[in-house]
Structure 1
Amino acid sequence: MTGRFAAVAAGMVMAVSGICQAQDAATAKLDVELNALAPSQKGCMMTFVAENNLQTPINKISFELAFFNDKNAVDRITVLDFRDLPQGKKRVRQFDMPNVKCDTVTRIIINDTPVCDGPATGECMKGLVTRSQISVPFEG
């Protein structure tokens, strides 16, 4: 009887553990926020806030971004190096974009993560959640 009880108890522990891991995986995300655009001497200073809530730290990540102008046409596509993103930590990253007028940027889209060192292949894009604190839409 105690053998059967132990087997049932072990099965319940494994089931609960599996549910918890599935919930953790479902909430695992990489938050990237467009926080500000400000004119600079070179062009436009872009400020982003990123928080890694994936299952592992990110040793190095870059994002390929498409910038749309006031005619709703792609003005440029560029890769920005966000460096490392420790697990559970917020990081602010700024990029001075030469020859870009902030007031003509109407939308920014993350096309890809060409570099995502740490998580499993595809996890950075799969867990990506974007938002904007300003009037310019930011999509992933």
Structure 2
Amino acid sequence: MGIDKMVSRLFQLGVVLALGTTPAIAQEQSVDVPTSSLAVELNALQPSERGCRFTFVATNKLGGALSSVGFELVLFNKAGMVSRITIVDFKDLPDGKTKVRQFDFSGVQCADLGRVLVNDTTECAGVGIDPKACIRYLQTDTRAETEFGV
């Protein structure tokens, strides 16, 4: 490194230190991290009399109560082929509340599921809630062996 580059870098460092910040901190301050979320966890898959029972745990942190929320789910088998497209209605989800919802899918064998995809929202309504917020701020997780996400 030449003397001119070294002097230039030392000058830049001096300016940064004089301003009381570092480049890393300046970058962190410019990152916009959303605080809103709609968390949906695939908690369990259990064989039922009708087929397969899905248990979901949902937590609304969108900043307002949801009067209705629904999702279009795509079920894939272990070979990666679409086996079903269906809609689930989570009904109402108060702000800051966690609820458990169960859905039975007839003719679906839990052991054959490879992946569950949230394709889109079918409903996302509430006072002051953007209709796209449910999919935009959706965070998915799974405790089942089956992959779950967007």
Aligning the two structures, in what range does the TM-score lie when normalised by the shorter sequence? 0.7 to 0.9
Distance 2:91 2:84 in 1: 21
Residue number in structure 2 paired with 1:62: 70
Superposed displacement of residue 121, structure 1: 2.4
TM-score after normalising by structure 2: 0.75
TM-score after normalising by structure 1: 0.81
Q: Indicate conservation of the 8 Å contact 2:123/2:131, yes or no.
A: no
Choose 1 or 2 for highest CA Rg. 2
Unaligned runs of 5+ in 1: 1-22
Residue number in structure 2 paired with 1:128: 138
Moved more, 93-102 or 112-121: 112-121
Distance 2:56 2:117 in 1: 13
Aligned residue pairs total 117
Unaligned runs of 5+ in 2: 1-31
Residue number in structure 1 paired with 2:113: 105
Instruction: Select 1:42's aligned residue among 42, 47, 50.
Output: 50
Q: Indicate conservation of the 8 Å contact 2:66/2:92, yes or no.
A: yes
Residue number in structure 1 paired with 2:149: 139
* CA RMSD across the alignment: 1.2
Identical pairs, percent = 44
Distance 2:97 2:105 in 1: 25
